Amino acid sequence: MKWIVMGIVLAVYAFEMVVALLNHRSRLKEVPNRLKDIYDEERYYKWLAYSLDVHRFTMIRRGVNVLILFAFIYFGIFERMVEATSAWTNSPIMQSLYFLGLYQTFLVLLGIPFKHYQTFYIEARHGFNRTTKKTFTRDIIMGYIMTIVLGGLIIGGLNALYLAFQDNLWTFILVSWTAISIVMFLIFAFLSKVFLRLFNKFTPLPEGTLRSRIETLASSLGFNIKALYVMDASKRSTKLNAFFTGIGKAKEVVLFDTLIEKMSEDEILAVLAHELGHAVHKDTWRMLFQQIAIIILYAASIGLILQAPELFTAFGLTGVHFGFALILFFLLFEPIELLLGLPVNALSRKAEYKADAFSAKQTHAKHMISALKVLSREDLVNLTPHPLTVLLYYSHPPMNERIEALE
């Protein structure tokens, strides 16, 4: 069984590397005529260099992660971690939390050199990075604390449910699904704004024509703008974005300061109209309930793993261990998640087309097209992605298709 798990991991890695290589080669295709004004020659070659750096980095990082996972499995490191953390306490819940906390700490420490190189070498070399060493360190520490605290609460709760319903698999699956769904709704409705403010500074958008036009647009569509904020995204990157938060018709608008810096008012308004299109079409709610529906598959998979003690003994453990069950779940579910991504991403791309069309109707197609070209140019977007990459990973349509649909 151990070798089957390792084979699945290796097969997924090999497949993803083939897709990455195809996508990397696809960057050399001729850029479609409608996109040729996005990059001038200098910017185009800069994009090629950036694409090459990201490709190499991704392949190396993914390869290192697989090698380390293989080492953990082959040399019985997971087994030793379980034995060590089980000696720290008699509580099954705390044993799982100590085990996963130790593993997560190792992953964070392993990831720091990679994240440092990506931020201060790749992103900096191509003009994206504005992150200081202080911000970089703070982000890692804050992210680690949030993962340990929130992850610990969620996993501890699920472990408690398993101990309460371990003799009734379907009760455990349904109760776990309900609990995770409630947590997801709370994060979506309330906590996401809190998390964003832990890492970023929000300041009110000053009075002026941009603010007035945003409020007028939202009001004409029946939305009440509770607040308009500018987020200091430029302290980390030059990349552009904007989004809405809030439930129902009451919304908060958040603009990256880089978006205001790089786009005209007409283009910003087109981007916000696109986001309002998602709200009008209930896309955010659809995606939330879509994820909640998928979670029942996660809960069922974890439940089935917990009902198979031979899986754990194959890795040298003496019996079922909730913490290790979660690691097995993530390893075994990888190929299924790739397949699930096909319909999920297809629905998402369809929603993006509809939101683009909504923006064109509320503002003007030329402004949305112009905004998409600015986003492509500033973020060094791949203008010729491989179709298989789009099919598997793209939640947004390729830029050529989006602009073609708007023309």
- Known catalytic residues? 275, 356
Helical (H) or strand (E) element with 143: helix 133-165
Angle between helices 133-165 and 92-117 (to 10 degrees): 150
User: b vs e for 363-380, b when ≥16 Cβ sit within 10 Å of the residue's Cβ?
Assistant: bbbebbbbbbbbbbbbbb
Residue 379 tokens read as 């973020």
Sign of CA dihedral 392, 394, 400, 401: positive
Q: Tokens representing 186?
A: 């709370």
Pairing of strands 202-204, 242-245: unpaired
Q: Encoding tokens for residue 139? A: 């982000």
Amino acid at 295: I
**Which stretches of 194-333 are assigned E, i.e. beta strand?**
202-204, 224-231, 242-245, 250-256
Count, in order, helices (H) and strands (E) of the chain. 18, 4
> In terms of C-beta density within 10 A (0-12 exposed, 13-18 middle, 19 or more buried), how is residue 235 classed?
middle
Query: Residue 93 in contact with residue 156, Cβ under 8 Å?
Result: yes
Helix (H, G, I), strand (E, B) or coil at 242: strand
The rounded distance, in Å, linking the Cα atoms of 406 and 364 is 10
Q: Tell me which DSSP letter residue 76 carries.
A: T
Q: Tell which residue, 377, 372, 366, has the closest CA to residue 397.
A: 372
